[in-house]
């Protein structure tokens, strides 16, 4: 009964937060032509098709959820949520965005192509690749036992994909000030920074991203990041030994790698953050207050809901730099310009 009560309250909180911002959501949606149910008449089965393709992919690869969530974030953070990261080499573009250093390890392109192919068969030239990426990320979160939320659709696909436009992707070695600045420039707040970083609650990272933090922190040879809990440091070094295989992967959320929950924030509070960028969230007063807000004495019953707030931040991310109406295009194949 307690578990049911908790789940019920989470649903209530998500509903209240979404309803409370209805007026602002409507303003943005009507002006930018994004809205929930954009394809209700033109392609009513679009979301069902995407959800099925994502579910099938997840059945064969347990990493599907973090893969698709990361793909959506990386797409939106460069030129906006326009599917530019999906473009593969063609004659007119030898330096497409997906080759950027900041996109290392980003995957899931074949899942989006599969979904696009099936949607095209049902509704030719109607649903954008950018919308499919956003829908797939939502479905992936739900598969990982995360919150369900409605995705505004109506995005158009971009006409440019250039590696140089990804120079300002957030990096694991960025300071908290740099991270806040990068998010601010995208119209996202420090609270969005915390919540979207908390997507690291699912998935893994490569030792490649850990070596500087463990063995050359701030350019000091042999020095480890002092924010790492002394109990955790030997564990990290054992998984990622100096001069070892940089492709070895480790869970970004110690103890909860396959379940979408707030354990990642608890780890950050205790010095058990795997990524340096996650650890910095507790080294700034504003972001630390956001992290701590989900662990009050009365939380989760009366305090803010991590799940509800994450859903709101995902909706905000999905509005970043979108193309709508007569802007952009609808690609027939996601990896190629028409």
CATH of the domain at 105: 1.10.520.10
Q: Is 309 annotated as a binding residue?
A: no
Q: How far apart are CA 197 and CA 128, in angstroms?
A: 26
Q: Which residues of the chain have pLDDT under 50?
A: 1-32
Question: Taking the mean position of all CA atoms in its chain, how far away is CA 154?
Answer: 19
Q: Is 245 annotated as a binding residue?
A: no
Longest dimension (CA), the chain: 61
Asked whether residue 320 is domain-assigned, the answer is: no
Q: Could you report the per-residue pLDDT of 172-217, keeping only the tens digit for each? A: 999 999 999 999 999 999 999 999 999 999 999 999 999 999 999 9
Does one domain contain both 302 and 239?
A: yes
- Residue 303 confidence (pLDDT): 83
Domain boundary among the residues 169, 186, 205 is at: 169
- Residue 91 confidence (pLDDT): 56
Name the percent of the chain in helix, strand, coil, to the closest 5.
Answer: 55, 5, 40
Asked whether residue 95 is domain-assigned, the answer is: yes
- Residue 214 confidence (pLDDT): 98
Asked whether residue 128 is domain-assigned, the answer is: yes
What's the angle, vertex CA 144, arms to CA 154 and CA 248, rounded to 5?
110
Asked whether residue 199 is domain-assigned, the answer is: yes
Asked whether residue 293 is domain-assigned, the answer is: yes
Residue with tokens 């924030």, as numbered in its chain: 265
Domain boundary among the residues 169, 203, 224 is at: 169
Q: Is 157 annotated as a binding residue?
A: no
Does one domain contain both 155 and 180?
A: no
Asked whether residue 252 is domain-assigned, the answer is: yes
Tell me if residue 239 falls in helix, strand or coil. helix
Q: Is 200 annotated as a binding residue?
A: yes
What's the angle, vertex CA 208, arms to CA 203 and CA 211, rounded to 5?
115
Does one domain contain both 6 and 147?
A: yes
Does one domain contain both 74 and 142?
A: yes
Return the sign of the alpha-carbon dihedral for residues 204, 97, 102, 306.
negative
Does one domain contain both 40 and 163?
A: yes
Q: Is 75 annotated as a binding residue?
A: yes
Does one domain contain both 155 and 217?
A: no
Does one domain contain both 153 and 252?
A: no
CATH number of the domain that residue 266 is part of:
1.10.420.10
Does one domain contain both 22 and 100?
A: yes
Does one domain contain both 196 and 295?
A: yes
Q: Which of 74, 103, 190, 258 is catalytic?
A: 74
Does one domain contain both 183 and 160?
A: no
Phi, psi for residue 272 in degrees, rounded to 5: -105, 20
Does one domain contain both 19 and 163?
A: yes
Task: Assess contact for 28 and 34: CB atoms under 8 A.
Answer: yes
Q: Is 89 a catalytic residue?
A: no
Partner residues linked to 181 by β-bridges: none
Does one domain contain both 83 and 151?
A: yes
Q: Name the domain count of the chain.
A: 2
Locate 100 and state its tokens.
């950027």
In the chain the beta strands, taken as DSSP E runs, fall at 35-36, 152-153, 204-206, 249-251
Q: How far apart are CA 47 and CA 149, in angstroms?
A: 13
- Residue 92 confidence (pLDDT): 57
- Residue 93 confidence (pLDDT): 55
Q: How far apart are CA 9 and CA 147, in angstroms?
A: 12
Asked whether residue 141 is domain-assigned, the answer is: yes
Domain boundary among the residues 124, 140, 169 is at: 169
Q: Is 322 annotated as a binding residue?
A: no
What is the domain extent for residue 252?
176-315
In 114-211 the beta strands, taken as DSSP E runs, fall at 152-153, 204-206
Asked whether residue 329 is domain-assigned, the answer is: no
């Amino acid at each position: 009964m307690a578990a049911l009560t908790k789940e019920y309250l989470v649903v209530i909180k998500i509903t209240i937060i979404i309803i409370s911002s209805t007026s602002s959501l409507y303003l943005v949606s009507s002006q930018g032509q994004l809205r929930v149910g954009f394809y209700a008449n033109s392609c009513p089965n679009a979301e069902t098709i995407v959800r099925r393709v994502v579910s099938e992919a997840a059945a064969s690869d347990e990493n599907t959820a973090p893969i698709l969530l990361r793909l959506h974030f990386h797409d939106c953070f460069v030129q906006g949520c326009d599917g530019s990261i999906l473009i593969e080499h063609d004659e007119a573009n030898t330096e497409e965005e997906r080759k950027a250093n900041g996109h290392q390890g980003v995957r899931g392109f074949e899942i989006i192509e599969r979904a696009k192919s099936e949607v095209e068969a049902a509704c030719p030239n109607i649903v954008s690749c950018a919308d499919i990426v956003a829908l797939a990320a939502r479905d992936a979160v739900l598969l990982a036992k995360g919150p369900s939320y409605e995705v505004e659709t109506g995005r158009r696909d971009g006409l440019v994909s250039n590696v140089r436009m990804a120079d300002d992707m957030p990096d694991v070695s960025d300071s908290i000030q740099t991270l806040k600045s990068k998010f601010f420039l995208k119209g996202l707040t420090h609270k969005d920074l915390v919540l979207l970083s908390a997507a690291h609650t699912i998935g893994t990272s490569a030792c490649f991203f850990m070596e500087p933090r463990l063995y050359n922190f701030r350019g000091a040879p042999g020095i480890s990041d002092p924010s790492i809990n002394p109990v955790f440091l030997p564990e990290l070094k054992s998984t990622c030994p100096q001069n070892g295989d940089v492709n070895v992967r480790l869970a970004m959320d110690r103890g909860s790698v396959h379940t979408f929950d707030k354990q990642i924030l608890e780890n950050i509070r205790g010095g058990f953050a795997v990524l340096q960028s996650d650890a910095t969230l507790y080294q700034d007063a504003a972001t630390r207050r956001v992290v701590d807000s989900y662990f009050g004495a009365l939380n989760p019953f009366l305090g803010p809901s991590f799940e509800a707030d994450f859903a709101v931040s995902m909706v905000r991310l999905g509005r970043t730099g979108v193309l709508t109406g007569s802007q952009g295009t609808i690609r027939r194949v996601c990896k190629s310009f028409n």
